[in-house]
Chains A and B, each alone.
Chain A
Amino acid sequence: DAKTTQPTSMDCAEGRAANLPCNHSTISGNEYVYWYRQIHSQGPQYIIHGLKNNETNEMASLIITEDRKSSTLILPHATLRDTAVYYCIVYSYGQNFVFGPGTRLSVLP
């Protein structure tokens, strides 16, 4: 079973920030938080990952709480092309990725 809990769906207005939450209250000290997204009819696409510190790349920012029990993926200026299912995964070396059902983000014009 997935070690993460995410809302089933979310809406976001185009141009606004999309904040996608993820709970991982049983995360261990050596486990990373990974985010992937899957646009309809495509394979999942890597977005970002982190361990303890907040991370930012050209796609998104990842905010991890100090106790590491939850995180938020931020898409700073959502576009219609960001409409997808977003998966939060807890991973450590030697494990396999376990995907939950994810959050279906709809970016609305």
Chain B
Amino acid sequence: DTGVSQDPRHKITKRGQNVTFRCDPISEHNRLYWYRQTLGQGPEFLTYFQNEAQLEKSRLLSDRFSAERPKGSFSTLEIQRTEQGDSAMYLCASSFLSGRENNEQFFGPGTRLTVL
């Protein structure tokens, strides 16, 4: 297993179009996270899944955003009717949370979205 992978690495789209990103976590990791990162800022939490259940969504996740993790393995993040303000790096991370102590998250390389 080579870590968390994301596809595509780069996406350029026109305003108003829909885009979908995919994340493949480390196998057997039960938690999967999505973050957004803009230039000069740290990653901002968007949502996370425990297995196939989406347990929390940030208020940053407007109704144009939807995320799924249908079989508790890979996840998709869809943005409908993209806006220029959606331009950012979208990061996926996974972890195996077995207790209360360690939540080491492993991040993928990210998908850079540019909305023209």
Contacts and interface: CB of A to CB of B under 8 A. Distances in A.
Contact of B42 (A49, A51, A101): A101
A2 B48 CA distance: 19
A100 B4 contact: no
Interface size class of A (residues with CB under 8 A): 20 to 34
Given A49-B104, A91-B103, A43 B109 contact: yes
Given A32-B101, A93-B103, A96-B45, A43 B40 contact: no
Contacts, number: 51
A50 B10 CA distance: 35
A46 B41 CA distance: 17
Interface in B68-116: 91, 93, 100-110
14 contacts: A2-B42, A32-B101, A41-B109, A43-B4, A43-B110, A44-B43, A44-B105, A44-B107, A45-B107, A49-B104, A87-B42, A96-B58, A97-B103, A100-B42
